[in-house]
Structure 1
Amino acid sequence: MAENNPRGLPLSSDGEGLKRGTRVGEGALREVAAYILDHPIGGHRSSDEVGFAGVPPTVMVRCLYEGFNHPNGNGSKNYKIGSLQMFVKNYGSCEDMGPHAFPVEEVHKISVLDIRLANADRHAGNILIYKEGEEGQFVLVPIDHGYCLPENFEDCTFEWLYWPQARQPFNSETIDYIKSLDAEEDIAILRFYGWELSPECSRTLRISTMLLKKGAERGLMPYDIGSILCRETLKKESKIEEIICKAKDSVLRGTSETAFLESVYEIMDHHLDELSDKIASF
């Protein structure tokens, strides 16, 4: 639905992409953002270090080709700007086999990335598999992040939510990594690399990062936290949408973003405390 799309299909009527809360033409930015924000353990990437979730190196590129679809038919705009991702040798995707063979930590690293970036398109087909080491342990590689960091939480989708590993607790290394995350720093990093997040996308990142941190702090599992972001049905709002709605009702019109977020976090704390108590009672 973007301008000059390869098939010459109609453009988006309102600028929204295939997933609610995303904008046509921003997919490449989101692909690169997922790589930039996939920080290694111990800090921000300073070289070719592999990030915590293992997003392959991804960069913005300009590609020139006379065959690109351009309505004007002139040669002045025969280029496109997009993202280029390093190829990963693999044995296929998670669609090709059941999840029971995947190590818990490998599933958890994907869950941390998806919750934090509010991924609206995490299905088994965009997680690659390869084997590492003499014992051939499976390693999962997340790809296809063009629908992360949306403007709202309406279309958050995590297939791993239904895998048994999602009901296992985070290990200490993962918890320490989650504690180190800082949404304000991430917004500044993306700005440094040329993407000024919209206020809506910035709000999404702040809320999802805080949810992940607060959930992990309480010992909640990926399933517990991820379920708060995902709708049970298309028409029933997710728990995070309900929390945001309550926060909007609790503050005056014109309230600052900081005050609004404080209200969100307060309501979030109350819900997470109730959830923790409920889980502990079983």
Structure 2
Amino acid sequence: MLVLSQVPATAGAPSPSLVVPMAMPDHPEIDRTPLDRDLDRDPALRAAFAIVYYNKQEFLQSLHKVIEQVSYNPAEELKIDESCASSTPFKSAIIGGMDDLLCQVDVASAERADNGTSEVYFLADDAGQRKVVFKPAVDAETERAAINEQAAYLLDRGLAGVPKTALGSVKLGAENEETFGSAQAFVPGEDATDYGANVFAKDDVHRIGVLDARILNRDRHAGNLMMTQDKRLVPIDHALSFPDVNGGELADVSSEVFFYPQAKEPFSEELLAEIAAINVDEDLDLLQDAGVAEESQLGVWMSTVLLQKAAAKGKTLFEIGSMLVRPGDRTQPSVLETLSAEAMAQGTEQFFEAFNNLVDAALV
């Protein structure tokens, strides 16, 4: 099995620091989540959460302890909203990076969504306005989904507008059980299913397509694109992203956005500059800290290399997406799968250099 920790760094390869786990001190005063299971994940993933249902003084003491000892993530620091703590000390769910929204919600009145496929809750404020979408993680599959949801937000860095997303626990249900999962800022609007693709803004399509290329989305369709009142497209639902390169999941990469009419138009100069500025080493460090598996990080490295090289050569989103997705009836491998297999066949020591060269040849 090829994982990044087994591959020496070469020119154009991820930095060795990517595979060094973050050393974190134990925090006996913080209740740990069900993530403390057979997989020994990065402690920072757990220690960065503080869910407190005590009075204001205990709330602030506990949260300050977390902030003093934990760097939550590279994207933004955890803040303390003392006004929130004092106004709703018994019903607020505070999650690292989401406290500005979650301090407004009443978890006791969580509303389960009727989507028929997965367990999803809407968390509303005292006025009944939805503020947060919470997705519980109850097993290995949904824990991975929660990690992917947050990782997509962090990796996006605002380029495509993924709503703010974080991990943590809230107390749900009649038994008031603490439940770990992902929390995402609620986006008012409606899904894009009832809209024709022609009405979508070109820049929105391009930016979401760039995101899907980077995270190798396996489930992008109009149903997980939100159309806001000002007619912006907002991407949500990224659980099925970051495929396992060694587990055959590259075969499942799928994004309708790659094939919208706008995808055949050239990228703007602004977006080309943003693509060129992506620092894949920083992205991989970020994903490592977020708990994304190394086999999935390798996919991000490959897709980013391909994206940046292809965009620099004037390729459109349609052309780039066509290299990531299996053609036709999907029985034949994608260009990305083929390039990956050919590079791996040259051995782990040569993989990164070989992949770079193979991408260059494919883009001639």
Normalising by the smaller structure, the TM-score range is 0.7 to 0.9
Deviation at 1:65, TM superposition (A): 3.3
Provide the secondary structure at the position in 2 that maps to 1:190: helix
Taking the aligned partners of 1:183 and 1:122, their CA distance within structure 2 comes to 23
Deviation at 1:80, TM superposition (A): 2.2
Instruction: Note the residue ranges of structure 1 that are not aligned, 5 or more in a row.
Output: 10-21, 40-50, 69-74, 133-137, 274-282
Q: TM-score, normalised by structure 2?
A: 0.58
Deviation at 1:190, TM superposition (A): 3.0
Q: Percent of pairs identical after alignment?
A: 34
CA RMSD between the two structures: 2.2
- The equivalent residue for 1:264 is 355
- The equivalent residue for 1:65 is 172
Deviation at 1:79, TM superposition (A): 2.8
CA contact (8 A) 1:119 1:156 kept: yes
Provide the secondary structure at the position in 2 that maps to 1:131: coil
Distance 1:24 1:260, change over 3 A: farther
Taking the aligned partners of 1:185 and 1:179, their CA distance within structure 2 comes to 14
Matches within 5 A, 1:84-99: 84-90=183-189, 92-99=190-197
Taking the aligned partners of 1:219 and 1:59, their CA distance within structure 2 comes to 35
Of 130, 144, 159, the match for 2:237: 144
Taking the aligned partners of 1:158 and 1:150, their CA distance within structure 2 comes to 14
CA contact (8 A) 2:147 2:291 kept: no
Taking the aligned partners of 2:229 and 2:272, their CA distance within structure 1 comes to 25
Provide the secondary structure at the position in 1 that maps to 2:332: coil
Instruction: Note the residue ranges of structure 2 that are not aligned, 5 or more in a row.
Output: 1-34, 36-115, 119-139
- The equivalent residue for 1:224 is 319
Provide the secondary structure at the position in 2 that maps to 1:181: coil
1:200 matched to 2:299: no
- The equivalent residue for 2:89 is none
Taking the aligned partners of 1:197 and 1:103, their CA distance within structure 2 comes to 31
Taking the aligned partners of 1:168 and 1:131, their CA distance within structure 2 comes to 25
Higher Cα radius of gyration? 2
1:36 matched to 2:154: yes
CA contact (8 A) 1:93 1:127 kept: yes
Taking the aligned partners of 1:151 and 1:265, their CA distance within structure 2 comes to 20
Taking the aligned partners of 2:210 and 2:153, their CA distance within structure 1 comes to 14
CA contact (8 A) 2:151 2:292 kept: no
Matches within 5 A, 1:82-121: 82-90=181-189, 92-121=190-219
CA contact (8 A) 1:106 1:139 kept: yes
- The equivalent residue for 1:164 is 261
Taking the aligned partners of 2:358 and 2:205, their CA distance within structure 1 comes to 29
Provide the secondary structure at the position in 2 that maps to 1:81: strand
- The equivalent residue for 2:342 is 246
CA contact (8 A) 1:35 1:57 kept: yes
Letter in 2 for 1:37: L
CA contact (8 A) 1:169 1:220 kept: yes
Taking the aligned partners of 1:244 and 1:37, their CA distance within structure 2 comes to 22
**Count, aligned residues:** 223
CA contact (8 A) 1:30 1:145 kept: yes
Taking the aligned partners of 1:123 and 1:102, their CA distance within structure 2 comes to 13
CA contact (8 A) 2:155 2:283 kept: yes
